[in-house]
Amino acid sequence: MEEEFRALLKRVRAELVSPAEFAAHDKLLALVRSDSRAARDRLAGVLVAPEQPLWAREIAAFALGAKGDRRAFETLILLLNYREPVRCATAAHVLARLRDPRTARAAAALATNPLRTAYALYPVRLLTELRAPESVPALLATLERLLAARDHCWPVARACVEGLGALGDRRAEATLVAAREHERLRPAAVAALARLTGRGGGPHGLRSGSST
């Protein structure tokens, strides 16, 4: 994950403004570069210490998560549902590799929360990557709610459609047929149905109500 970490550091460095922040940043990187237990413990302390800037918590969580240290879990979940997509994407990347058994349940809770739909894109994508028992039910629940809502939140709905196609679970078939009726979801829904059934690759795919 070195490339992702370099991108994170470049982004964070652009946020720093004061000499004190640059000094704190350099001290934090020294801990990251160390592979000692003491350094990891100090990074974990950054996650819970009061008045730590968000960028410091993000760096510490990434470094710990990349090393498989599950003390990063709570901070990464917070960042997964953050208002800045770039931070959500970074958190999802690390969570997928942390292999914490709590991850899928937490991502499902974020994806299905109707009050946080605008921030559900990366939880949905993470659920697809995890292929956990929670993945299909959460994506189905989210997509069905969005199809019925006045605000369909198209990027999240499309991610659900694509995820259900990638997961290949036939429980999704009826909901994908319904998604196909929406013009902005139709190409993704047709492709997802094709992956589910081995047919449906044309503009119409399966007909509503058909069985296989």
At 47-66, the pLDDT tens digits run: 999 999 999 999 999 999 99
Residue located via tokens 């921030």? 119
Specify the range with the lowest mean pLDDT, choosing from 92-106, 138-152, 192-206.
Answer: 192-206
d(CA 170, CA 52): 46
Element (H, E) at 212: none
The answer, yes or no, to whether residue 175 has pLDDT greater than 50, is yes
Please state, as a whole number, how many other Cβ atoms lie within 10 Å of the Cβ of residue 107.
Answer: 30
DSSP state of 207: P
In sign, the C-alpha dihedral spanning 122, 124, 129, 134 is positive
The pTM for the full model equals: 0.88
Nearest Cα neighbor of 90 from 78, 100, 105 is 78
Q: Which pLDDT tens digit goes with each residue over 28-47?
A: 999 999 989 999 999 999 99
d(CA 52, CA 31): 15
